[in-house]
């Protein structure tokens, strides 16, 4: 019995030491979101396809941070194609608005579901304003999901094919907007090859992906039922497990940060959980990831809130 007790104490001590080591590396390498632009620019040198993930499809701060990144890349880094995890025909209407056609934006966004939010209104209006100022170097938005892409075992490959078609046709630098689970390069989180894995296979080091995670706050979830169709609800995020990446990120000296993972980082081999909220409010609320292999970088926002739906 004493021997078992000693082993348990030893394991707890080793786990505590490992967390302290991980946190020390994080505090040394994480950069506050208020001052990470130069680091992001450096990390994206030579990148042709950038994929921005999100731990949910209903978090205001994720949307706003991604808006800032996209606007910076469009204005300063020459990105002209922006793809979204949504139906191509719906985003064709949004693109008409951005190109300056006589389109009512609210009407065009009617079927965007979780993306029918004030944060997306602001993004689309900013992109239209950019195009108005730069008629010879316009930005295009597109949806890389199409009707029929519903088999979970083939959907990510088919969506990747759509992105590759766009890049081959335009030779442009592309930003993609999707859930973390589609963004992952390894199979740890999705359990099958996701878009990140396929895109890495096509573009190699010219592909870069960034996960988004959060610790506490609220989220707007999209729910489906046969009688009501799609409905939305605001839910409070559940407490995270202490032995998770999310918990560790929440202990960082900077509450909101950007961090680039490297092969030498302690995150390159560890598998733990991060926040994961899909359609519906149901467990599990976190999924395991070998985060240093699934993602090139992470944006963490400690306290977040629900996205703001457009009111009819």
CA–CA separation, 258 and 56 (whole Å): 18
The answer to whether the peptide bond before residue 50 is cis (omega within 30 degrees of 0) is no
CA–CA separation, 201 and 205 (whole Å): 9
- pLDDT tens digits along 2-25: 554 443 443 344 345 468 999 999
pLDDT of the residue at 2: 53
Structure tokens given for 109: 């966004």
CA–CA separation, 9 and 282 (whole Å): 35
> Which CATH code is given to the segment(s) 36-304?
3.40.50
pLDDT of the residue at 280: 79
Per-residue pLDDT 10s for the chain (312 aa) are 555 444 344 334 434 546 899 999 999 999 999 999 999 999 999 999 999 999 999 999 999 999 999 999 999 999 999 999 999 999 999 999 999 999 999 999 999 999 999 999 999 999 999 999 999 999 999 999 999 999 999 999 999 999 999 999 999 999 999 999 999 999 999 999 999 999 999 999 999 999 999 999 999 999 888 888 889 999 999 999 999 999 999 999 999 999 999 988 999 999 999 999 987 788 778 999 999 999 999 999 999 999 999 986
pLDDT of the residue at 228: 82
pLDDT of the residue at 11: 38
pLDDT of the residue at 16: 52
Please give the C-alpha separations between residue 1 and each of 13, 15, 151, in angstroms, as whole numbers.
18, 21, 52
pLDDT of the residue at 6: 43
Domain ranges of the chain: 36-304
């Amino acid at each position: 019995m004493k021997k078992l007790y000693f082993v348990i104490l030893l394991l707890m001590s080793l786990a505590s030491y490992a967390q302290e080591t991980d946190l020390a590396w994080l505090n040394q390498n994480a950069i506050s979101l208020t001052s990470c632009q130069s680091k992001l620019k450096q990390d994206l040198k030579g990148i042709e396809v950038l994929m921005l993930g999100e731990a949910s499809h209903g978090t205001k701060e994720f949307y706003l941070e991604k808006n800032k990144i996209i606007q910076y890349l469009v204005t300063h880094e020459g990105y002209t194609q922006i793809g979204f995890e949504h139906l191509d025909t719906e985003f064709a209407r949004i693109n008409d608005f951005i190109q300056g056609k006589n389109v009512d934006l609210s009407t065009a966004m009617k079927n965007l579901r979780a993306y029918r939010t004030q944060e997306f209104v602001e993004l689309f209006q900013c992109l239209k304003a950019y195009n108005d100022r730069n008629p010879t170097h316009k930005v295009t938005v597109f949806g890389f999901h199409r009707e029929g892409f519903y088999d979970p075992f083939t959907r990510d490959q088919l969506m990747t094919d759509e992105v590759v078609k766009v890049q081959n046709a335009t030779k442009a630098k592309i930003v993609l907007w999707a859930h973390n689970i589609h963004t992952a390069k390894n199979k740890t989180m999705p359990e099958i090859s996701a878009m990140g894995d396929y895109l890495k296979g096509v573009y190699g080091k010219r592909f870069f992906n960034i996960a988004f995670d959060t610790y506490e706050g609220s989220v707007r979830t999209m729910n489906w039922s046969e009688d009501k169709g799609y409905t939305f609800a605001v839910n409070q995020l559940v407490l995270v497990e202490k032995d998770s990446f999310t918990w560790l990120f929440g202990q960082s000296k900077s509450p909101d940060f950007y961090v680039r993972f490297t092969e030498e980082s302690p995150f390159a081999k560890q598998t733990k959980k991060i926040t994961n909220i899909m359609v519906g409010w149901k467990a599990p609320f976190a999924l395991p990831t070998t985060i240093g292999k699934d993602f090139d970088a992470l944006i963490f926002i400690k306290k977040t809130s629900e996205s703001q739906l457009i009111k009819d």
